[in-house]
Chains A and B, each alone.
Chain A
Amino acid sequence: MRLEIRDVHKSFGEKKVLTGISFAADSGKAFGLLGRNGAGKTTTIRILMDVFPADTGEVALDGQAIDYHKTGIGYLPEERGLYPKKKIIDQLVYFAELKGMKYADAVKAIDYWLERLGMTEHRGKRLDTLSKGNQQKIQLVTALAHNPQIVILDEPFSGLDPVNAMLLKDVVREEIAKGKIVLFSSHQMNYIEEFCDSIAILNNGHVVLSGDLHDIKRNYTRDKLILRSENAGQIQAELGASCTRNGEDELLIRLASPADKKQTMQMLTQKYDIDEIRVFEPSLNDIFVEYAGDQE
């Protein structure tokens, strides 16, 4: 399966929120939808889920306009919340039924997920008796119980303790392994880097960067070196302005051109006692800051 968003535009009144969003996500892989607050992520997700239509553009699944009656979508919204005063099992069944499940199937699936997330003991309790992290796990059930083909997780890790985060990671990996399209939206770049094969970075309502994360990193101009040495001070003095401190004993060396890489590395390793020298590969965080920062 391949989910495609094609040139989607959306305005609310005078305000243009999306100005030509396009990206594609494949099944069996996770896709990261990134962007600063107000970049248009939630609007994109809502259009994807048919909460409101796009002004122009379309959402396609395997090349065809998506049929929402046949395509199951699971959604964990960033703004969490269910019915605080209602019994957990009741509301989970309700949401599963709204997604088209039969009562008996819904109960079976929900019991499986409660067990999987270690929440079975809370089955008959009211939601507001649970801690925030546990409420979030309950909400995760609403996104997964109806076995959707597309899973959209908006900031899934926020508010989870490390143990629960680990549990969620396992669950997400399982879902990816089942051949689902998993769409991530998050500000926690380390999780995106860990899971996502492809990303799209949104800024001011359009995609500023998208594609395979590995390719994006490879294609990043390889004109910087990271060097770690006890002689960092001396080296910095020799290289002058092209060299900046990147931490204690660590230097970031800007090359005039990527072609100088080999020569510079040889020169430095011969001359100084060096613990480590490598080409600087940007983290997703660096890329994000570069592309999603204010640019006019």
Chain B
Amino acid sequence: MNQLGTIFKFELKGYMKNKVFVGVTIFLVALVAVVMFFPRVSGGFVGGEEESSEGAGMDEQGTGQAEDREGYPVMLVAASGEGTLSSDSMETLRQAFSQAFMDYDVRIAEKDAEDVKEEILSEDAECAFVFDSLTSYTYYVGNLSMNDQNSYRASEVLEGMFRMNAMVEKGVSPEEAQEILQTPITYETESLGKDQIQNFFYTYIMIFALYMVILLYGQMVATNVATEKSSRAMELLITSAKPASMMFGKVFASCFAGFIQLVAVFGSALLFYQINAPYWGGNEIISSIFAIPTELLIYMLVFFVLGFLIYAFLYGAVGSTASKLEDINTSVMPITLLFIVGFFVVIFSMTNGSVDNLLMKICSFVPFTSPMAMFTRIAMSTVPFYEIVISIVILIASVFGIGALSARIYRVGVLLYGKPPKIGAVLKSVWKA
């Protein structure tokens, strides 16, 4: 125990004096400061929402009238052939589209459908609607972007126009028809479980922080062990301290250093946010990030520490089998891959909004993925308490199991020099030792 304390102290001091560690921490804090102070310096987001939807672009172009939207991307409306639609209908369409698409300069195409394509290809226009009738059209666009909603909106406009006309023909006055069609529906949503939209951002940040910290510190632990080995300090260390003390001391120190770094970064983020809160003007994303419930913060801490430990042990064990620093990168590859696969399962499930799918359920009990998977499920869904307990118990047991195993690998590994051994060979000699 005494040795463990000595090693912990020495290793932690090593981190605190490490220029890279200190530099990265300061850089991250500075980055957070820049982000958090940005709205104060740039004039803030207060009231910016309305301004930006109207004002962007226009101020630069100097043309502000609603009808004359020169400088906006051009949207063409055209009839598919001569006589398909009257010029009156075309003008009605143009006006309706002009209202529906505030961010386009809607014009009636002067030529026929073929020329419309030409104009889009030559980038004179961004997109075009070519009508066969008032209820049928073809949408032309240069590059169809992922979130192009134009055809959806156009259909709505046409539907509205069609219904309006139909009702007027049936003898309803245009005003009445308007009223029927535009009856406002008021509603509120109240989530009885978790609000995925609100929780998404901090869950994402936490998962990403875990990802960064584990990869970074795992690599640092592995390098640290391999450096001791290659500088032959190991020859003396191994005769001065028990391998288990060395392994646990190192890993705990790196865990603590990582924790300090995270606290520094997130703590300063919180501090800077509080200083600048008025300038953020209740930006939903930002305020949701800083509104993590305490309960979740505790879970985050638990999963962070356990997840960190389990990977740090693995990285340390692998580091002990390499005799040169150059070998580290290839040796740690399997662990890194394991971790990245877990990361992607979680991220995909998060973005799909289906955090309770079967794969996630399995992952939330497997010790190597549960820190990310279970935390995500707790944050974004409702998980029975017993499942959380089981997951944490498995994880704690695995941390001790992996810790003991890696201490044994370490004891065998540190005395091996030369070519990095195969995993099978290492496990075999660990078994026999």
Q: A13-B432, A46-B239, A52-B411 are in contact. Are A77 and B232 (CB under 8 A)?
A: yes
CB pair A77–B236 under 8 Å, yes or no, is yes
Enumerate chain B residues within 8 angstroms of A80, measured Cβ to Cβ.
Answer: 232, 235
User: In the complex, A95 Cα to B3 Cα: how many Å?
Assistant: 10
From residue B417, how far is it (CB to closest CB) to chain A in Å? 9
Enumerate chain A residues within 8 angstroms of B411, measured Cβ to Cβ.
Answer: 52
Query: Interface code B16-38, partner A: CB below 8 Å = 1, 0 otherwise?
Result: 00000000000000000000000
User: In the complex, A185 Cα to B234 Cα: how many Å?
Assistant: 19
Of A97-105, A200-208, A268-276, which stretch is located at the interface? A97-105
Cβ of A66 within 8 Å of any chain B Cβ, yes or no, is no
CB pair B432–A75 under 8 Å, yes or no, is no
User: In the complex, A97 Cα to B4 Cα: how many Å?
Assistant: 11
Cβ of B145 within 8 Å of any chain A Cβ, yes or no, is no
Enumerate chain B residues within 8 angstroms of A12, measured Cβ to Cβ.
Answer: 429
Enumerate chain B residues within 8 angstroms of A83, measured Cβ to Cβ.
Answer: 228, 231, 233
CB pair B236–A142 under 8 Å, yes or no, is yes
CB pair A94–B6 under 8 Å, yes or no, is yes
CB pair A81–B232 under 8 Å, yes or no, is yes
Instruction: Give the residue of B7, B10, B239, B429 whose beta carbon is less than 8 angstroms from that of A75.
Output: B239
Q: A52-B411, A98-B241 are in contact. Are A75 and B433 (CB under 8 A)?
A: no
Cβ of B240 within 8 Å of any chain A Cβ, yes or no, is yes
User: In the complex, A84 Cα to B233 Cα: how many Å?
Assistant: 9
B interface residues, tally (CB under 8 Å)? 25
Cβ of B294 within 8 Å of any chain A Cβ, yes or no, is no
User: In the complex, A80 Cα to B233 Cα: how many Å?
Assistant: 7
User: In the complex, A46 Cα to B7 Cα: how many Å?
Assistant: 21
CB pair B236–A73 under 8 Å, yes or no, is no
Enumerate chain A residues within 8 angstroms of B383, measured Cβ to Cβ.
Answer: none
Closest to A128 in B: B231
Cβ of A167 within 8 Å of any chain B Cβ, yes or no, is no
From residue B224, how far is it (CB to closest CB) to chain A in Å? 10
CB pair A79–B235 under 8 Å, yes or no, is yes
CB pair B232–A98 under 8 Å, yes or no, is no
Q: A49-B239, A51-B239, A75-B239 are in contact. Are A98 and B3 (CB under 8 A)?
A: yes
Enumerate chain A residues within 8 angstroms of B241, measured Cβ to Cβ.
Answer: 98
User: In the complex, A51 Cα to B411 Cα: how many Å?
Assistant: 8
Enumerate chain B residues within 8 angstroms of A49, measured Cβ to Cβ.
Answer: 239
CB pair A52–B231 under 8 Å, yes or no, is no
Closest to B412 in A: A52
User: In the complex, A204 Cα to B255 Cα: how many Å?
Assistant: 45
CB pair B238–A51 under 8 Å, yes or no, is yes
CB pair A99–B240 under 8 Å, yes or no, is yes
Closest to B11 in A: A94
CB pair A82–B231 under 8 Å, yes or no, is yes
User: In the complex, A247 Cα to B3 Cα: how many Å?
Assistant: 59
From residue A48, how far is it (CB to closest CB) to chain B in Å? 9
Query: Interface code A12-56, partner B: CB below 8 Å = 1, 0 otherwise?
Result: 110000000000000000000000000000000010010110000
Instruction: Give the residue of B232, B240, B415, B433 whose beta carbon is less than 8 angstroms from that of A95.
Output: B240
Enumerate chain A residues within 8 angstroms of B433, measured Cβ to Cβ.
Answer: 52
Enumerate chain B residues within 8 angstroms of A100, measured Cβ to Cβ.
Answer: 2
Enumerate chain A residues within 8 angstroms of B231, measured Cβ to Cβ.
Answer: 81-84
Enumerate chain A residues within 8 angstroms of B237, measured Cβ to Cβ.
Answer: 98
Q: List residues of B (115-161) whose CB comes within 8 Å of A's CBs.
A: none
CB pair A79–B232 under 8 Å, yes or no, is yes
Instruction: Give the residue of A73, A82, A97 whose beta carbon is less than 8 angstroms from that of B239.
Output: A73
From residue A291, how far is it (CB to closest CB) to chain B in Å? 28
From residue B21, how far is it (CB to closest CB) to chain A in Å? 13
CB pair A95–B236 under 8 Å, yes or no, is yes
CB pair B233–A81 under 8 Å, yes or no, is yes
CB pair A94–B10 under 8 Å, yes or no, is yes
From residue A218, how far is it (CB to closest CB) to chain B in Å? 36
CB pair B232–A97 under 8 Å, yes or no, is no
CB pair A81–B235 under 8 Å, yes or no, is yes
From residue B304, how far is it (CB to closest CB) to chain A in Å? 29
User: In the complex, A81 Cα to B236 Cα: how many Å?
Assistant: 8
Closest to B242 in A: A50
From residue A283, how far is it (CB to closest CB) to chain B in Å? 31
CB pair B7–A82 under 8 Å, yes or no, is no
From residue A86, how far is it (CB to closest CB) to chain B in Å? 8
User: In the complex, A75 Cα to B235 Cα: how many Å?
Assistant: 9
A-B contact pairs, 17 of them (CB 8 A): A13-B429, A51-B239, A52-B411, A77-B232, A77-B235, A81-B231, A81-B233, A83-B228, A83-B233, A84-B231, A90-B13, A97-B6, A98-B6, A98-B7, A98-B237, A98-B240, A100-B2
B-binding residues in A (CB < 8 A): 12-13, 46, 49, 51-52, 73, 75, 77, 79-84, 86, 90, 94-95, 97-100, 139, 142
Q: Known contacts A51-B415, A79-B235; can you find 10 more A-B pairs with CB under 8 A? A: A13-B428, A13-B432, A51-B239, A80-B235, A83-B233, A94-B10, A95-B236, A98-B7, A139-B236, A142-B236
